[in-house]
Each structure stands twice: as structure tokens, then as C-alpha cells.
Amino acid sequence: MSGYVGDLSPKQEKALEQFREQAGDLLGRDDSDHACLRWLRARNFDVQQAKNMLQKHNSTRKQHNLDTILKDYQPRPFIKKNLIGGCCGFDKNGGPIWVYPFADLNVKALLRGASAADILEHMTYRCELSIKLMEEQSKKLGRNIETHTVIFDFGGFSIIQSLQPDALSLLSGFISLYEANYPERVQEVIVINAPALFTVLFNLMKPLLTGRTLQKISIFGKDNWKEYLLERIDDDQLPVHWGEYLLERIDDDQLPVHWGGTKTDENEDPMCRSLITVATPIMEEEYKGTGMSKAEEMTWITIDRRVVHEVPIEVANSDHTLCWQFETEQHDIGFSIRWQTATTRCAGNSRRSNTISASPLYAAQSRST
């Protein structure tokens, strides 16, 4: 059985009943069967794991004020101008369509002008906005809408930028955040114009994605279908051109002209730039000094050749996240993270600790962050 409302096995029905009993006070305002089943499907109907997942999600909502983010959040001008993507309409299922056009995106400049926390906050805002749109669509159409379609267009983008450590860290951070807090919200992820190196990036991210999410990812090259992890779809059932594939899932009046539809925005723009932020050149004056979220708290040092500079950080709680920002002015600097257990006093008043490398050595290039 699929695990959706109206298609539950006796075992799944029992799990739903138990989940309501054990986690009913955690559900908040959305306590429908549809909501319960999203958490259960995400954990293969393991009631305790689904409950634990929901508890962690509620902690995240409280910590980051997600219940009021749609009302209170105001993006920085740099984020609003340069963080690509937007919602342009609704798919044939009724869910929102989010398009991310990567053409001409300068990842390095983006990350110099915005911290990872800034970007993750804005992406979380978009997730919450998408859920609001789903709720509005559910009322409008008179049926449950709980998923969205996401289109990633890598045409005109140098994907090697995404393989840099800071970009990989940001991407993995968002995927982990999304999988932990927005389970079963994807109708389909459609990747178009995927270059050959996309396989490298995708293989790095796969361990962070659930099996259910992987089954919802469709990948196309510049012209033809790339056979890729779609066990649920046979090759002979797929059209060869991604434009046809999109129009099977999205009405043409909901898809911008640039991607094969007929939709334009109020300015008759075929890319609907009033709805979808596209990459534009980022000038140095835009990001100079803005990437450091608390520049006044930064420490400026000069590191001589063959000298090691250590910055000890005490981690008081296991659920804390270690974040760092640095910028180099001249020459290359080696950067790594090492974890050291708490130092203990041993016999003879000597001190002993255990130090383990927590990351590979990263050669930070001049003027990088």
C-alpha cells in the first residue's frame, strides 16, 4: 500500500492510530491524517522514529521562529537581489512550481556577500511560503495539496563552482534541513541541462537524501534523457526532451516561455523575472564587507610562513553547530578542523587529551572566504 490517505494497509492504519496517541500533542494546528502520514512515511511507519522526527522539527520551529517567519522575515537587499529562484505557478497536481535557473550564477561572489546562515534562512522562508501556497490551493481546489515541483536548470552554469568546500557545505546543510523538517513535500525534482559533472555533485549529495526523495528526482542533459536512478520509470516510458516532460506535469500557461510554456509575467518577460530571481553580475562593492555577518567581531591576524594559528572553541552542548567565517588577503592559507576531547587530569598531575582530525586540510585561496 502507498501509505497515503485511502490506501493504507492494516499495519499502516495501526501505526497511524498509535502515532496519534503518542504524538497528538506535537502536531499543532495541522493534525490531519495527511500530516500524520507524512511523518510516518518519512520513517517507514516506525512510530517512535516518526515521533522523534516531529519533536526535533518542533524544536527547530521554535529555535528559528518559523511560526512567524512569513510575517517577520525581511531579506537583506543582497539576498533579495542575488539568491536565485522563485515560484511561477502550479503544477497539474495543484502544487507550487519553484524554478531555480543557475545560468551565470557566481557562487563565490554570492557566498562572499551572504553568510550560509543568511541563505539557509531565506530558503527556509521559501519552504514555509510554499506550504502556505499548498494550504491555499487545498482550499481553492477542495482537495489536499501537500507537495511542490522543483525545477533546477543548470544551463549556462559552471557546476564546478558547486564542488568547492563552502558551496558543498551550504548545499548539504540545506538538504539536511529540508529532509529533517519538510518530509514528503516533494512532488518531483526535475533537473534540466545537467552537465557531465552533475553526476559528481549528485553522488556527493545522495547519502543525505532519503530513498523516497531519490525516487522523485528526474534528470535530463541538454537534449536527451540521462538514465539516472529512476527505478520507478522505464526508459521507454519517458520522452526524450525535457520540455515535453515538463509539459506532461505542468500546464503550459503555468510554465514560463523560456522553459517551454506560454507564461510571461506582467512585463511580458519570457523568464518571468518578476517571479523568479535570475543571476546577474555581482559587483565587488555589493559584497565587500557584507559576507561577514559580524565583521566588528572579527580578529585580524598575520600568519607567517610555516606558522600554525589555532583558535580553540569549547563545545558545551552536543546539539550545537560549529560555524566559522574567514577571509584571506594574500597567499594561500591551510585550514582544517580538529576535535579534541575534554582534557583530564591524570596520575602525577599530567594532562591527557585525544585529538582527532574532523576535516581534511583545505587550502584557502587568496581573497576567499
Same domain, 188 and 75: yes
Between the alpha carbon of residue 15 and those of residues 3, 6, 137, 182, the distances in Å are 10, 14, 28, 20
CATH for 271: 3.40.525.10
Same domain, 247 and 356: no
Same domain, 86 and 21: no
Q: Which of 235, 252, 283 is where one domain is finished?
A: 283
Read off the C-alpha cell for 100. Answer: 531555480
Q: Which of 230, 248, 283 is where one domain is finished?
A: 283
In a domain, 38, yes or no: yes
Same domain, 153 and 208: yes
**51-72 average pLDDT score:** 96
Higher pLDDT, 349 or 138: 138
Q: What is the pLDDT of residues 281-339, one digit of tens each?
A: 998 877 765 555 445 566 778 888 888 888 888 887 776 777 776 777 766 777 788 87
In a domain, 203, yes or no: yes
Sign of the torsion angle spanned by Cα atoms 49, 50, 51, 54: positive
Same domain, 86 and 144: yes
Same domain, 220 and 340: no
Q: What is the pLDDT of residues 207-232, one digit of tens each?
A: 999 999 999 999 888 764 333 323 32
Same domain, 91 and 115: yes
Q: What is the pLDDT of residues 233-251, one digit of tens each?
A: 344 433 345 677 888 899 9
Same domain, 146 and 219: yes
Q: What is the pLDDT of residues 256-279, one digit of tens each?
A: 989 888 999 999 999 999 999 999
In a domain, 225, yes or no: yes
For 186, the domain range is: 69-283
Q: Which of 254, 283, 312 is where one domain is finished?
A: 283
Same domain, 193 and 122: yes
In a domain, 305, yes or no: yes
Burial 118-145 (b: 16+ CB within 10 A, else e): bbbbbbbbbbbbbbebbeebbeeeeebb
Domains: count for the chain: 3
